């Protein structure tokens, strides 16, 4: 089925298909909401990850803290942000990492009013700019 939101550039819409693919990954991430689980994860990441039936790609993206990769593999930002919080990364700094701009340049962009909609609505506007 064609999805009318798939031509939005730089955006992964967390829909039911992604929810299905990312279920184990997202359940792992939300478990880190609790201190007891964070302690166990930080003591032995591999042993903790054994509890969740993630794909090898998802598991590697967790190891690599590949924030965009996690989203492409079915993660949702409200879940992956729990892994980021465990690592001491807040929402704004996580966004800075995902955009590829880096934390400082991203913060500066937000202070100047954020990313404008102009040129950022459709994938064709990003094609040829080396993005997307």
CA 130 to chain centre: 21
Establish if 115 lies at the interface with another protein (CB under 8 A).
Answer: yes
Q: What angle do CA 8, 56, 131 make, to 5 degrees?
A: 25
**Tokens read off for 76:** 């949702």
Min. distance of Cβ 124 from another protein in angstroms? 13
Q: Which of 49, 57, 85, 103 binds another protein (CB under 8 A)?
A: 85
Establish if 86 lies at the interface with another protein (CB under 8 A).
Answer: yes
Q: Which of 52, 65, 68, 103 binds another protein (CB under 8 A)?
A: 68
| Residue pair 22/73 in contact by the 8 Å Cβ criterion | yes
- Alpha-carbon distance 57 to 107, whole Å? 31
| Residue pair 36/21 in contact by the 8 Å Cβ criterion | no
Q: Which residue has the tokens 């992604």?
A: 18
- Alpha-carbon distance 119 to 27, whole Å? 35
> Which CB, 48 or 106, lies closer to another protein?
106
> Which CB, 33 or 53, lies closer to another protein?
33
Q: Which residues bind another protein (CB under 8 A)?
A: 4-5, 8-16, 19, 22-23, 26-27, 29-30, 32-35, 38, 68, 71, 76-79, 81-82, 85-86, 90-92, 94-95, 98-100, 106, 109-111, 113-117, 120-122, 131-132
């Amino acid at each position: 089925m064609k999805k009318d939101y798939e031509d939005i550039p730089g955006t992964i819409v967390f829909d039911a298909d992604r929810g299905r693919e990312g279920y184990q990954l997202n359940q792992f991430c939300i478990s880190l909401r609790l201190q007891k689980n964070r302690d166990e994860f930080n003591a032995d990441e591999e042993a903790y990850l054994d509890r969740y039936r993630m794909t090898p790609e998802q598991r590697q993206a967790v190891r690599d803290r590949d924030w965009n990769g996690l989203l492409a593999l079915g993660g949702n930002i409200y879940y992956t942000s729990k892994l980021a919080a465990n690592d001491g990364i807040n929402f704004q700094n996580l966004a800075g990492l995902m955009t590829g701009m880096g934390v400082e340049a991203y913060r500066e962009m937000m202070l100047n009013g954020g990313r404008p909609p102009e040129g950022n609505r459709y994938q064709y506007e990003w094609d040829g700019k080396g993005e997307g």
